[in-house]
Amino acid sequence: MSVLKNRLRRFAPAMEPEGNGANGHARESGEGRASETGRVVPFETSKESVTLSHERGPSGSEETRYALTGTRRPAPARLEEYQALKTKIHRDLINRLDLTRLEKIEPSVLQAQIAQIVERMLEAEATPLSMAERERLIAEIRDELFGLGPLEPLLNDPTISDILVNTYRQVYVERFGKLYLTGVQFKDNDHLMQIIDRIVSRVGRRIDEASPMVDARLPDGSRVNAIIPPLAIDGPILSIRRFGTIRPTIEELIRRGTLTPEIAYMLEGCVKCRLNIIISGGTGAGKTTLLNVLSSFIPNDERIITIEDSAELQLQQEHVVRLETRPPNIEGKGEVTQRDLVRNSLRMRPDRIVVGEVRGPEAIDMLQAMNTGHDGGLTTIHANSPRDALSRLETMVSMAGLNLSDRAIRQQIASAINLIIQAARLSDGSRKIVSICEITGMEGDVIAMQEIFFFERLGVAEDGRVIGRFRATGIRPKFADKLERSGFRLPSTLFDDTVELGASGSVWFEHYGLR
């Protein structure tokens, strides 16, 4: 609650009336500018706020149309009056609050009481407001005090997967794999910096000219990256990769077409029978989502240790220990890397070690753990293909400075890794598993690998949707025998290249409760 006290004080100057902002510089006015709290910007062509809405197209399919909708804003002639009223209410509210008593009030009760106070203050004002304007003003002030200001409506929209703030003037969102410009703006760059400071301070990190880049997270696990001047030339840049409050399940991925029930069944067996799995893919391919889903197959009686740069994983098992790296302090001391955490986790009696993303010298410690009895590991890696993932692993192992030969590194990888899953985001925004490869050992100085399943692209529909199908290569993987010895039998038809995967009416859909 003490954080709220500071927030109330800090945002008072951020609510300066039009003309002179918190930094003393004149503000531009007129249509197309941001409101004082930066919620929505009215454009010359419309008096409505600009938001993206999910509608059904003429064909009845979803995700086909995005319209400009929203509640009406004050007319341009009244905009300055509306902003001045908001500034006055905000300042009067701070003066009336007893900051010493805030810690004794529950947050939900406090928000309700502040809404009532603002309502009474509005009634005492002579400025006429419609009911919609009154409700919006109360919501904007509440968001500034308790939330992330202009970002709150976007964070509350479950269809948004990414929020990209390019300085205070421009905010993009990603919906269903496509980017759209919103009408949301901040008051100025100082206002945006206050929001960034609020985010990073919650997780004990800092951002300033001495440390102008930071990774953080929101309370729901959403990933946050911020970079500010002098590195960001035009002003602060904020990127939020959102994670839904409802964690996707394997059934949901099947419905979306990310994979088929047959592939899901095999992957379920691989996780339960403790194969070491790497999920490879580019940015936005759905690697973390897939890792969360696969981790749901880990038995509930196992001790799981997760290691991440920024905590994102949402494991649902009871016995989970979450570890997170720590950046150096202002003196350059106190840094704790992923490699340090991987080494420490080996002393914590883990049944499973899950590394959110391997990206540096911790790769060698992870491989050695997999080769010394800590099997069943899961991790992700940035790569465009399974073969590229192996090359990146080699590079990261060499970063550890152990002077291992190329052949020794490849033997470590071939011995430790069993399966590589390649995920990709297609041109229509959909995310799919495009390849699943098994590591079979070494052939000379080369790591041998065989593909088991792949996604075959057949073309693009008129609406831009990618047309394709999942296919088996006809190769029965070597790990199938290990799965059967562990009591998880894979039918021989599962790998038959003449059998259509994911066919309508398949009994595999019934296995996951789908029709």
| Domain chopping of the chain, boundaries | 2-241, 250-511
101: pLDDT strictly greater than 50: yes
- Alpha-carbon span 421 to 378, nearest angstrom: 11
Structural contact between residues 270 and 483, judged by C-beta atoms closer than 8 angstroms:
yes
- Alpha-carbon span 350 to 305, nearest angstrom: 6
Structural contact between residues 266 and 273, judged by C-beta atoms closer than 8 angstroms:
no
Amino acid identity of residue 290, one-letter, is L
- Alpha-carbon span 221 to 311, nearest angstrom: 6
| 477 prior amide bond cis, ω within 30 | no
Structural contact between residues 82 and 15, judged by C-beta atoms closer than 8 angstroms:
no
pLDDT value of residue 126: 66
Nearest residue to 32 (alpha-carbon basis) of 173, 192, 185? 185
- Alpha-carbon span 480 to 275, nearest angstrom: 11
Q: 3-state class of 221 per DSSP? A: coil
Structural contact between residues 181 and 163, judged by C-beta atoms closer than 8 angstroms:
no
What is the DSSP secondary-structure string of 122-177?
A: HHHS-S---HHHHHHHHHHHHHHHHS-GGGHHHHT-TTEEEEEEETTTEEEEEETT
Give, in degrees to the nearest 5, the angle at Cα 163 between 355 and 194.
95
Q: How many residues does this entry show for the chain?
A: 515
The residues pairing with 170 across neighbouring beta strands, listed in sequence order, are 166
Q: What is the pLDDT of residues 126-137, one digit of tens each?
A: 667 777 777 777
Q: Supply 11's token pair.
A: 């945002």
User: Which residues does 43 contact at the CB level (< 8 Å), separation at least 6?
Assistant: 31, 32, 50, 183
Structural contact between residues 460 and 244, judged by C-beta atoms closer than 8 angstroms:
no
User: Which residues does 78 contact at the CB level (< 8 Å), separation at least 6?
Assistant: none
Q: Supply 509's token pair.
A: 């859909």
Q: What is the pLDDT of residues 458-498, one digit of tens each?
A: 998 888 889 999 999 999 999 999 898 888 888 878 888 87
The residues pairing with 67 across neighbouring beta strands, listed in sequence order, are 53
Backbone angles phi, psi at 167, to 5 degrees: 60, -175
Give all strands (DSSP E) within 49-142, no chain letters: 51-55, 65-69
- Number of neighbouring beta carbons within 10 Å of residue 402: 11
pLDDT value of residue 72: 42
pLDDT value of residue 29: 35
Section 389-415 average pLDDT = 92
Which region holds residue 266: left if phi is over 0, alpha if psi is between -120 and 50, else beta?
A: alpha
- Alpha-carbon span 212 to 160, nearest angstrom: 27
Section 179-194 average pLDDT = 86
- Alpha-carbon span 236 to 239, nearest angstrom: 10
Q: What is the mean pLDDT of the chain?
A: 79
Structural contact between residues 22 and 190, judged by C-beta atoms closer than 8 angstroms:
yes
Q: Supply 98's token pair.
A: 């007893």
For residue 244, name the pLDDT band (cuts at 50, 70, 90): low
pLDDT value of residue 73: 45
DSSP, res 395: H
The CATH code belonging to domain 250-511 is 3.40.50.300
Helices (H) and strands (E) in the chain, counts: 15, 17
Structural contact between residues 227 and 213, judged by C-beta atoms closer than 8 angstroms:
yes
**Higher-confidence position of 329 and 195:** 195
- Alpha-carbon span 205 to 1, nearest angstrom: 18
Section 189-204 average pLDDT = 87
> Rg of the chain over CA atoms, in angstroms?
26
Nearest residue to 323 (alpha-carbon basis) of 342, 346, 306? 306
Q: Strands 170-175 and 178-181: what pairing?
A: antiparallel
Q: Supply 259's token pair.
A: 């994979």
pLDDT value of residue 225: 92
The residues pairing with 173 across neighbouring beta strands, listed in sequence order, are 163, 180
- Number of neighbouring beta carbons within 10 Å of residue 399: 14
Section 389-395 average pLDDT = 94
Q: What is the pLDDT of residues 135-169, one digit of tens each?
A: 777 777 777 767 788 888 888 888 888 999 999 88
397: pLDDT strictly greater than 60: yes
User: Which residues does 235 contact at the CB level (< 8 Å), separation at least 6?
Assistant: 167, 168, 189, 192, 228, 229
Q: What is the pLDDT of residues 26-61, one digit of tens each?
A: 333 333 333 334 333 333 333 333 334 444 333 333
CATH class of 2-241: alpha beta
For residue 435, name the pLDDT band (cuts at 50, 70, 90): very high
- Alpha-carbon span 91 to 144, nearest angstrom: 12
